[in-house]
Amino acid sequence: MEPVAGARTFATSGEAYDAFMGRYSRPLAAEFATFAGVADGDRALDVGCGPGALTTELVGRLGVADVAACDPSPPFVAACAERNPGVDVRPGSAEQLPFGDAAFDLALAQLVLHFVSDPPRAAAEMTRVARPGGTIAACVWDFGKEMRLLRTFWDAALSLDPDAPDEDRVLRFGRPGELSQWLADAGLGHIVEAELTVHTTYGGFDELWGGFEAGIGPAGSYCLALPTDHRGALRDALLERLGSPTGPFTLDAVARAAKGVR
Ligand SMILES: C[S@@+](CC[C@H](N)C(=O)[O-])C[C@H]1O[C@@H](n2cnc3c(N)ncnc32)[C@H](O)[C@@H]1O
C-alpha cells in the first residue's frame, strides 16, 4: 500500500487518540450512524476507522458479521480489531479500499476526508464498494465554526504565529456544501447535508493540553514541533482563550455530514 500523507500523524495508540479526539468521535459516531440511516440487516464499512469509534457503534447496531473497517495507520488497525473482536478490520486507504465491488449497504467515513490525498478517488472507491441503491456518507469537523477545541487552539496559535497552519485554512470539506459537492461530483443522488453537534467534558485544562502534547493530527504535530518556550506561550494563550478554567469544563464540537445514494 502506498504511504498516505495524512496518515503519518495518526501513528499513535488508541488510548492516546481517545484522550484527544476519541472523546468526541464516540458520541459523534452515534449521531452519524443515525444520520446515515444505518438499519437492521445492513452491512456497513467504516473507512478510516481509527481505533474504532464508529466501528463499535456499527457493531452495536448491526453485529460483528455485518461490519468491516479499514485504516492506513497500523496501530489504529490493531486497536480497532482488538476493540471489535470478529470484525473484518484491514489496513487500507480510502483511495484504494481493500474490499470487493457492491459489498456493502453503506460506506461511511467519519473525520477522515480532511486527510485523504485524493478525495475524488475516495468517493469513487466508496461508491464502488456500495451496492446500487446503497449509501455513501461522510462527516468532518467544522473547523471554522464550532469545533471549539481545534478552533480555539488555532486562534491561540495564530495570535503567536500568523503562519500557523490553521486547519480551517489548510484542510477542505469543513464548509457548508463542500461535502455535498464531493458526493455530487461522484455521481450520487438524493444528497442530504446536516450539522451534527456533540460535546465532551474535561476534568481540567491539563487534561485538554495533554491531548495536544501527544502529537496527534495536524494540531498535535504543530504543537510538538514548537520550541519549548513557544509551546509554553501557546499553552498560556489557549488557557486564556478558554476562559482560564480552574476545574471541569465542557466544549461543543460541530461536524458537517452529508450522504448520497449510489
Ligand atoms: C481524525 S481520525 C478519525 C478516526 C475515526 N474515524 C474516528 O472517527 O475516530 C482520521 C483517520 O483518518 C485516517 N486516514 C488518514 N488518511 C487516510 C486515507 N487516505 N484513507 C483512509 N483513512 C485515512 C487516519 O489514519 C485516522 O485514523
Dump pLDDT digits (tens) for 204-238. Answer: 999 999 999 988 888 998 999 999 999 999 999 99
Q: How far apart are CA 69 and CA 107, in angstroms?
A: 10
Q: 9 pLDDT band (50/70/90 cuts)?
A: low
Task: Summarize the confidence of residues 61-89 as an average pLDDT.
Answer: 97
pLDDT at residue 258, as a whole number = 98
pLDDT at residue 146, as a whole number = 81
Q: How far apart are CA 48 and CA 91, in angstroms?
A: 9
Atom of ligand 1 nearest to the CA of 28: 8
CA distances to 104, 113, 188, 189 from 132, rounded to whole Å, are 10, 22, 10, 11
Our count of domains for the chain comes to 1
**CB 196 near ligand 1, within 6 Å:** no
**CB 179 near ligand 1, within 6 Å:** no
pLDDT at residue 191, as a whole number = 98
What distance, in Å, lies between the first and last C-alpha atoms of the chain? 27
Residue 4 has pLDDT above 80, yes or no: no
Atom of ligand 1 nearest to the CA of 217: 1
Q: 7 pLDDT band (50/70/90 cuts)?
A: very low
What's the CATH code of the domain at 130? 3.40.50.150
Task: Summarize the confidence of residues 94-100 as an average pLDDT.
Answer: 98
Residue 5 has pLDDT above 50, yes or no: no
Q: What is the pTM of this model?
A: 0.92
Contact 130, 106 (CB under 8 A): yes
Among 47, 71, 97, 125, which residue has the most ligand 1 atoms within 8 Å of its CB, making it the best to mutate? 71
**CB 55 near ligand 1, within 6 Å:** no
Q: Whose CA is nearest to atom 10 of ligand 1?
A: 112
Task: Summarize the confidence of residues 44-56 as an average pLDDT.
Answer: 97
103-121 b/e (C-beta count within 10 Å ≥ 16 → b): bbbbbbbbbbbbbbeebee
Per DSSP, helices labelled H in the chain are 14-17, 23-36, 53-62, 74-83, 119-129, 148-160, 167-170, 178-185, 205-213, 217-225, 228-241
Q: Which domain holds residue 141?
A: 5-261
pLDDT at residue 171, as a whole number = 73
Q: What are phi and psi of 203, to 5 degrees?
A: -70, -25
Q: Output the nine-digit C-alpha cell for 238.
A: 489557549
**Gap from CA of 230 to ligand 1 centroid (Å):** 29
Task: Summarize the confidence of residues 40-60 as an average pLDDT.
Answer: 98
Task: Summarize the confidence of residues 181-187 as an average pLDDT.
Answer: 97
Task: Summarize the confidence of residues 157-177 as an average pLDDT.
Answer: 87
**CB 12 near ligand 1, within 6 Å:** no
Q: How far apart are CA 113 and CA 61, in angstroms?
A: 24
pLDDT at residue 10, as a whole number = 78
pLDDT at residue 174, as a whole number = 77
